[in-house]
C-alpha cells in the first residue's frame, strides 16, 4: 500500500510506525535510539527518496518533541517532501521546537550528532563573518548594508538557539556560547549605528581580528 505525502508526514509526527509513500517515507527505529549525549532520543527519520532530510527527536530534559530539519538545499520535489514533514509535525506539536540544523540530515541511520554540537555553532560564526564582509562594500544603499548585517545576525541567532534552547547547562560549551553572544552583541551594535563610516570601520576591524580570510583588499 502506498501512502499519500500527508499520510507520511502524519506518521512521521506521530512516530508510531514506518511507512512509505511515493518517493518519501518515514522510518521508526526498531529499538530506542538515545543519541550520544543521552539528552535526545531519536523517534523517527523523514526520508526523501533515499536521503534523510529531517528527524523527529524527543528532548529528554524538557520532555518536548523536536523537529530537526537539514538546511541543505535539495530539488523542488524533496523540498515539498520536507514541507509535508513540517506540516505533520506542526499539526501535532506546534512550531516552538522546529530547528534548522545539519543534525537533521546526517547521512545514514546510525548518525548520532546532535543540534547543540559546538562545531555547528562555530560554523555559524564563520558563516556570519563571510556575510558581514558585504557590509563593508562601498557605494551601496544603507538599507542594503543593514540587510547584510541582518543576515549575519540571523545566522548567529540560529546557532545560538540550536546550541542553547532546551539544553542542559552543563552540556553547553561555555567558550563557544560566549563567542556567539559576543558576536550577536557586536552585530546588534552595528544595526543601531547610523554612521556609515563608523559601521564600515567596525566591520573591517572585526573581520581583521576574527575572520582574516574574509578581509577585503582595498
**Per DSSP, which regions of the chain are E strands?**
19-20, 24-27, 33-34, 40-48, 51-59, 64-69, 98-100
Q: Of 88 and 72, which is predicted with more confidence?
A: 88
Per-residue pLDDT band at 122 (split at 50, 70, 90)? very high
**Residue 44's beta-bridge partner residues?**
56
User: Residue 38 — very low, low, confident or very high, per pLDDT cuts 50/70/90?
Assistant: confident
Coil, strand or helix at 64: strand
Mean pLDDT of 42-57: 92
Phi-psi region of 17 (alpha: psi -120 to 50; beta: other; left: phi over 0): beta
**Cβ atoms of residues 92 and 6 within 8 Å:** no
- Rg of the chain (C-alpha set): 20
pTM of the shown model: 0.85
C-alpha grid cell, residue 181: 553572544
> What is the spatial distance between Cα 147 and Cα 161, in angstroms, rounded to a whole number?
21
Q: Over the stretch 77-107, which tens digit does the pLDDT of each residue have? A: 999 999 999 999 999 998 889 999 988 886 4
Amino acid at each position: 500500500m502506498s501512502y499519500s505525502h500527508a499520510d507520511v508526514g502524519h506518521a512521521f509526527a506521530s512516530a508510531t510506525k514506518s511507512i512509505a509513500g511515493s518517493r518519501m517515507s518515514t522510518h521508526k527505529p526498531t529499538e530506542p535510539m538515545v543519541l550520544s549525549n543521552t539528552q535526545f532520543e531519536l523517534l523517527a527519520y523523514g526520508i526523501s527518496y533515499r536521503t534523510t532530510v529531517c528527524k523527529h527527536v524527543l528532548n529528554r530534559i524538557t520532555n518536548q518533541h523536536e523537529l530537526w530539519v537539514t538546511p541543505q538545499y535539495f530539488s523542488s520535489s524533496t523540498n515539498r517532501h520536507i514541507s509535508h514533514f513540517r506540516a505533520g509535525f506542526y499539526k501535532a506539536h506546534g512550531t516552538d521546537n522546529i530547528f534548522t540544523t545539519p543534525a537533521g540530515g546526517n547521512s545514514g541511520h546510525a548518525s548520532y550528532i546532535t543540534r547543540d554540537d559546538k562545531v555547528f555553532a562555530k560554523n555559524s560564526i564563520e558563516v556570519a563573518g563571510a556575510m558581514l564582509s558585504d557590509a563593508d562594500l562601498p557605494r551601496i544603499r544603507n538599507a542594503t548594508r543593514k540587510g547584510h548585517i541582518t543576515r549575519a545576525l540571523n545566522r548567529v541567532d540560529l546557532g545560538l538557539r540550536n546550541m542553547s534552547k532546551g539544553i542542559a547547562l552543563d552540556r553547553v560549551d561555555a567558550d563557544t556560547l560566549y563567542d556567539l553572544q559576543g558576536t550577536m552583541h557586536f552585530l546588534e551594535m552595528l544595526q543601531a549605528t547610523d554612521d556609515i563610516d563608523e559601521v564600515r570601520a567596525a566591520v573591517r576591524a572585526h573581520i581583521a581580528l576574527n575572520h582574516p580570510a574574509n578581509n577585503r583588499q582595498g
